Structure 1
Amino acid sequence: MTARKPIRVIIWGPGHVGGGVLRATLTDDRFQVVGVRVFSPGKVGKDIGTLVGLDPVGVAATDSVAEILALDADCVVYCPRTTVMFEGQWSEVDRILRSGKNVVSSNSHHNMARTTWLSTSQSPTDVIRRLVEIDKGPIPVPNWKTIRAGLRALTGTPGLSRITNPLLDRWLEPIFDAKVLPRQLTGEQVVRTCREAGVSVRGAGPHPDYMAEHLGMALAHLLDRPRNFRIAETFDYAAAYSPDMWGGLELLGMGQPLDALDSRHALVLGGDIAYGDVVANVAYSMRGIHGDDLRIEGDAVGLPSNLDVEIGDEFVKKGTIGVMGLIHKAFYGEELVGTNEEWWFLGPENAYYGPNLPFGRSAGLGTHTFGIEAARVRIDMQVAAFAQPDAEAWDVPMDLTRTVILESIEPTVASEPGVVVYDERPHYLSDDGSFVVSEAGDEPLRIVVLGDGATADTVHALANRRPGLEIVARTQDAPDCAVVVGAAASDQVSRLLAAGIPVVTDRYPRHPVATTTAPLYVAGAAADVIIDRIVPILARAIDGKRHVRFVDALDASTEESIDIGLGGAPESVDAAEVFARIDAVSGAAVPLRLAATLGIDAAAVSFDYELSVTTAGRAEKVGPIVLEPGTVAAVHAVRRGYLADQVVFVHEVCRYAGPNYATRGSDLPMGGFTGPQCYTIESEGVRAISRVQLQVSPVEDNADTAAELVATALLDAIPAVSAASPGVLKFDPSPHFRLDRRLS
Structure 2
Amino acid sequence: MGKHYRVIQWATGNIGGRALRAVIEHPGLDLVGLWVSSAAKAGQDAGTLAGTAPQGIVATSDVDALVATPADCVLYMRQGTDMDELCRLLASGKNVVTTRGDFHHPASMDPDVRARIEAACQAGNSSIYSTGSSPGFVTEALTIPLLSLSRRHDCLTIDEFADMESRDSPDLLFNIMGYGVAPTAFDQRKVDYVKHDFAGSLAQLADAAGIAVDRWEAFGEMAAATRNVTIAAGTIAAGTVGAQRITISGMQGDKAVLRFRANWYCTRDIDRPDWELRESGWRIRVEGDTPLDVHITFPVAPEDYAAFTPGLTAHRAVNAIAAVCDAPPGIRTTADLPQIIAQLG
SS in 2 for 1:224: coil
Equivalent-residue separation in structure 2 for 1:414 and 1:228 (angstroms)? 34
Equivalent-residue separation in structure 2 for 1:403 and 1:255 (angstroms)? 33
Equivalent-residue separation in structure 1 for 2:76 and 2:183 (angstroms)? 35
Which residue of structure 2 lines up, in the alignment, with residue 203 of structure 1?
130
Cα distance change, pair 426–18 in 1 and its aligned pair in 2 (3 A): closer
Equivalent-residue separation in structure 1 for 2:269 and 2:126 (angstroms)? 45
Which residue of structure 2 lines up, in the alignment, with residue 258 of structure 1?
183
Q: 2:248 aligns with which of 317, 323, 328?
A: 328
Aligned pairs for 1:38-53 (under 5 A) are 38-53=36-51
Matching of residue 368 in structure 1 with residue 293 in structure 2 = no
Aligned pairs for 1:202-351 (under 5 A) are 202-240=129-167, 249-261=174-186, 265-289=188-212, 294-305=214-225, 306-309=227-230, 316-346=236-266
Q: Aligned letter for 1:78?
A: Y
SS in 2 for 1:32: strand
Gaps of 5+ in 1: 122-184, 428-535, 545-598, 600-744
Q: Is the 8 A contact 2:284 2:294 kept in 1?
A: yes
CA-to-aligned-CA distance 1:168-190 (integer Å, 9 cap, x gap):
xxxxxxxxxxxxxxxxx23x442
TM-score (norm 1): 0.42
Cα distance change, pair 209–231 in 1 and its aligned pair in 2 (3 A): same
Equivalent-residue separation in structure 2 for 1:317 and 1:42 (angstroms)? 39
SS in 2 for 1:233: strand
Which residue of structure 2 lines up, in the alignment, with residue 96 of structure 1?
89
Which residue of structure 2 lines up, in the alignment, with residue 109 of structure 1?
102
Q: Is the 8 A contact 1:253 1:324 kept in 2?
A: no
Q: Aligned letter for 1:304?
A: A
Q: Is the 8 A contact 2:6 2:72 kept in 1?
A: yes
Which residue of structure 2 lines up, in the alignment, with residue 55 of structure 1?
53
CA-to-aligned-CA distance 1:668-724 (integer Å, 9 cap, x gap):
xxxxxxxxxxxxxxxxxxxxxxxxxxxxxxxxxxxxxxxxxxxxxxxxxxxxxxxxx
CA-to-aligned-CA distance 1:42-87 (integer Å, 9 cap, x gap):
2111111011211111111112222222222111101123xx2xxx
SS in 1 for 2:142: helix
Q: Is the 8 A contact 1:232 1:354 kept in 2?
A: no
Cα distance change, pair 413–353 in 1 and its aligned pair in 2 (3 A): farther
Equivalent-residue separation in structure 2 for 1:353 and 1:110 (angstroms)? 35
Q: Aligned letter for 1:254?
A: Y
Aligned pairs for 1:644-723 (under 5 A) are none
Higher RCO, 1 vs 2 (CA within 8 Å, ≥6 residues apart): 2
Equivalent-residue separation in structure 1 for 2:15 and 2:118 (angstroms)? 26
Q: 1:382 aligns with which of 257, 281, 295?
A: 295
Equivalent-residue separation in structure 1 for 2:124 and 2:269 (angstroms)? 49
Which residue of structure 1 lines up, in the alignment, with residue 315 of structure 2?
403
Which residue of structure 1 lines up, in the alignment, with residue 306 of structure 2?
394
Equivalent-residue separation in structure 1 for 2:253 and 2:82 (angstroms)? 32
Q: Is the 8 A contact 1:252 1:324 kept in 2?
A: no
Equivalent-residue separation in structure 1 for 2:237 and 2:60 (angstroms)? 41
Q: Is the 8 A contact 2:245 2:262 kept in 1?
A: yes
Q: Post-superposition shift, 1:17?
A: 0.7
CA-to-aligned-CA distance 1:173-224 (integer Å, 9 cap, x gap):
xxxxxxxxxxxx23x4422221122110011100111011111221111122
Cα distance change, pair 92–368 in 1 and its aligned pair in 2 (3 A): same
Cα distance change, pair 249–203 in 1 and its aligned pair in 2 (3 A): farther
Cα distance change, pair 353–189 in 1 and its aligned pair in 2 (3 A): farther
Cα distance change, pair 96–319 in 1 and its aligned pair in 2 (3 A): farther
SS in 2 for 1:45: coil
Equivalent-residue separation in structure 1 for 2:275 and 2:265 (angstroms)? 17
Q: Is the 8 A contact 2:91 2:122 kept in 1?
A: no
Q: Is the 8 A contact 2:283 2:295 kept in 1?
A: yes
Cα distance change, pair 120–48 in 1 and its aligned pair in 2 (3 A): same
Q: Is the 8 A contact 1:226 1:287 kept in 2?
A: no
CA-to-aligned-CA distance 1:579-621 (integer Å, 9 cap, x gap):
xxxxxxxxxxxxxxxxxxxx9xxxxxxxxxxxxxxxxxxxxxx
Which residue of structure 2 lines up, in the alignment, with residue 172 of structure 1?
none
Q: Post-superposition shift, 1:238?
A: 4.6
Q: Post-superposition shift, 1:99?
A: 2.8
Equivalent-residue separation in structure 2 for 1:352 and 1:92 (angstroms)? 46
Q: Post-superposition shift, 1:311?
A: 5.4
Equivalent-residue separation in structure 2 for 1:240 and 1:33 (angstroms)? 32
Give the RMSD, CA atoms, in angstroms. 3.3
Which residue of structure 1 lines up, in the alignment, with residue 15 of structure 2?
17
Q: Is the 8 A contact 1:217 1:424 kept in 2?
A: no
Matching of residue 76 in structure 1 with residue 3 in structure 2 = no
SS in 2 for 1:422: coil
Q: Aligned letter for 1:231?
A: I
Cα distance change, pair 100–350 in 1 and its aligned pair in 2 (3 A): farther
Q: Post-superposition shift, 1:351?
A: 8.7
Q: Aligned letter for 2:278?
A: S
Return 15-24 or 248-257, whichever deviates more.
248-257
TM-score (norm 2): 0.87
Aligned pairs for 1:383-532 (under 5 A) are 383-388=296-301, 392-423=304-335
The structure with the larger Rg is: 1
Q: Post-superposition shift, 1:29?
A: 2.3
Q: Post-superposition shift, 1:112?
A: 3.1
Q: Is the 8 A contact 1:283 1:337 kept in 2?
A: no
Q: How many percent identity over aligned positions?
A: 24
SS in 2 for 1:42: coil
